[in-house]
Structure 1
């Protein structure tokens, strides 16, 4: 009797393994190569936000979703491929006119800049406004970052010993910052001065505000449990056209992140060919990750985060990891048990997923998973890039020819197998503790 039970258990395991791998051969290198080659082609012009190149990429992804037979996430009054676009606006704020005096002295324009989402700033000295002093000898970068995170308005006086850091920040912010909303939040005005205290000041800043369109591309497969959602995502934008190197000025972004977007699209095709999943599957190509994660921020407001069981964000999986062939790592591994659940699913296979080996790089907060993680979702990024050694990151040489296509294909298969328990509803990862997320 015991022997029969043992044989039955073995048979069940074999059947389970066969079911989990059902149709995995449809995730093939040929189709993977077609998609990533299209996304990273020169005619996409590097897919920078607000360009014709990223519009072309969005049209391609939308068309693929339509041909696969995915459903739009929500009805937006459009039919066909256009229905998959999740359109929204952001705002570029550029300084137009600046006037300021400090302790009775007129400041030159190059002595100040503002970090703000407001069209106008009109300040006089006020006891209610915080004053921050970045003194000589302080760590300037840390002090600038800390000041900018303050929730209230602040005047920041920067000692001239930090002129280089001040100028770097000023160059970045005065060329036009993109904001999700205007007229909300606090403002910071930074002044380069040797004055330790502001006895009196008057600041007038007028900004030019431009409304700019963006669009995620989002499709779904409705599950039997409609309100239990699993998200697969990748960002399809990149940095566009830069300085010419050996006659090439297009930063194609093949690994960053055409590879992750391709993986997400291949997974959508794979799951669409399977029986109806237990949980609803959402496939999102995010825009504007490179300029502040605006796509994922907008997306997170369209769904109830409590309904999202897990998020598999995929970024830079086109090259083998430091752990060897067929391996990847998961950022924020310790913040939920999703990583352990994936490891359990991959036991006995050729694939493996490891904790993030680059904690000093802060990768958990540098991709589109972070927005949902802050809302408690077990949202992590799967990656394989050796970020400490990759010399092609954000260069014109990040092209499809630099990728390992068998590895990329195996990564997509690994995610399909590893996610099976979450997709079919047999396992549910623990939530992220919001109080422990920055």
Structure 2
């Protein structure tokens, strides 16, 4: 018995030494090259539906080709393209009790190309009064199934304008026709709508979005391990000190870079036991449509784990060589990662920011809702970060030495799942909202 224990300990020690040696092929020079390219100004902030994000997709595809990945089963290349619908308001006109309403005091929530309403008894009139809770009332209206004209008291002007601005930027829908109600909001001090006429027009476009996905086929062809990051960001906005490009270096060129480096690392290790999928998701910033589409192409029961990587370019609150895992308590993946990192200079911790709801704020959530042990690895101090979603999220503000160590951390921590020795428990779908 003692001999077997000794042999097992020696085998584990040898395995750890080999692993530690192999991760030395992960270089800071390569981290820097990929990061500089993805977060460069010529990517124009990688917003969905822009030439910048198309350029980024081409770059990631070329890297997958260089590494030697295969397209996903049934694919002819690495681009996984699908379509969504963008709805953009173009015209609003209204008269209420014979008085014309200024356009800046109207907005509509609708999937329809056109609405023409008058007081014909076909819809309800709802008032958000002076003493009502605007957000609570809005939530109730969003859950309603009937069309409604909503009169909003001027006391709620600030909330009204904020929501109007959000709606005015347009919305994206994976499908049309699922919404069962239309709502038109008017900011007014008039207490009733005895007579009204209104017209709403929207521009509806069917537009492409593209994930970039490749794989290394394993010996167990139908057991999948996913490594991912989202490559879209928020694009071009208001200029600050002459800079209008939100480069999205940490969010999430860092995660996409880490994913590509892990693809390169695992390709050099020979055929893995389980099949490895490497995915750069699109449109995380506008609703997670990329991960939703990806999840529909596979049987979730065959997905063993997902290592989603987001914002790993800055040192964690736990110090050097450390990261955290969102939703740590929802499966055993975090504990298995900790076991693999034992004795190394690296550490993975439970998410220290539960109030930020980070488990639901990245692409892991889509697969977690299907029961997959899908978690996000991050190191950003989200409560203190001043560059998040600003033009200051640039390459120069990141730590390439730290980021390179984050790639090494994930490489070490994931090896048990990749080799088939470790299988995390499933996420309880009933506990995922």
TM-score (norm 2): 0.91
| SS of equivalent residue, structure 1 residue 309 | strand
**Aligned pair partner of 2:230 in 235, 239, 259:** 235
The aligned counterpart of 2:103 is: 109
Alignment partners' CA distance in 1, 2:159 and 2:254: 35
Task: Tell me the CA shift for residue 243 of structure 1.
Answer: 2.5
Alignment partners' CA distance in 2, 1:312 and 1:87: 22
The aligned counterpart of 1:23 is: 22
Alignment partners' CA distance in 2, 1:429 and 1:188: 45
Alignment partners' CA distance in 1, 2:372 and 2:194: 48
| SS of equivalent residue, structure 2 residue 406 | helix
The aligned counterpart of 1:326 is: 321
Contact residue 147 and residue 156 of structure 1 kept, 8 A: no
Give aligned pairs, total: 432
Alignment partners' CA distance in 2, 1:70 and 1:34: 19
Alignment partners' CA distance in 1, 2:95 and 2:432: 40
Task: Tell me the CA shift for residue 6 of structure 1.
Answer: 4.0
Contact residue 338 and residue 430 of structure 1 kept, 8 A: yes
The aligned counterpart of 1:170 is: 164
Q: Is it true that 1:270 corresponds to 2:265 in the alignment? A: yes
The aligned counterpart of 1:96 is: 90
1:31-430 correspondence to structure 2 within 5 Å = 31-76=30-75, 78=76, 83-100=77-94, 107-121=101-115, 133-150=127-144, 153-186=147-180, 187-194=182-189, 204-430=199-425
Alignment partners' CA distance in 2, 1:109 and 1:91: 25
Unaligned runs of 5+ in 2: none
Task: Tell me the CA shift for residue 355 of structure 1.
Answer: 1.3
Distance 1:104 1:35, change over 3 A: same
Alignment partners' CA distance in 1, 2:428 and 2:49: 35
| SS of equivalent residue, structure 1 residue 389 | coil
| SS of equivalent residue, structure 1 residue 10 | helix
Alignment partners' CA distance in 2, 1:9 and 1:372: 35
Alignment partners' CA distance in 2, 1:279 and 1:390: 37
Distance 1:297 1:103, change over 3 A: farther
TM-score (norm 1): 0.90
Task: Tell me the CA shift for residue 7 of structure 1.
Answer: 2.6
Distance 1:38 1:97, change over 3 A: closer
Alignment partners' CA distance in 2, 1:160 and 1:408: 49
| SS of equivalent residue, structure 2 residue 317 | coil
Alignment partners' CA distance in 2, 1:85 and 1:315: 21
Q: Pairwise CA RMSD of aligned residues?
A: 2.5
Contact residue 90 and residue 178 of structure 1 kept, 8 A: yes
Contact residue 233 and residue 312 of structure 1 kept, 8 A: yes
Distance 1:75 1:407, change over 3 A: same
Task: Tell me the CA shift for residue 155 of structure 1.
Answer: 4.6
Distance 1:382 1:119, change over 3 A: same
Task: Tell me the CA shift for residue 22 of structure 1.
Answer: 5.6
Alignment partners' CA distance in 2, 1:289 and 1:283: 16
Unaligned runs of 5+ in 1: none
| SS of equivalent residue, structure 2 residue 222 | strand
Alignment partners' CA distance in 2, 1:409 and 1:318: 9
Task: Tell me the CA shift for residue 368 of structure 1.
Answer: 1.2
Task: Tell me the CA shift for residue 38 of structure 1.
Answer: 0.9
Alignment partners' CA distance in 2, 1:292 and 1:59: 22
Task: Tell me the CA shift for residue 181 of structure 1.
Answer: 2.1
Moved more, 26-35 or 126-135: 126-135
Deviations 1:257-316, CA, capped at 9 Å, x for gaps? 110000000011111111211211111111121222222122222212222121111110
| SS of equivalent residue, structure 2 residue 272 | coil
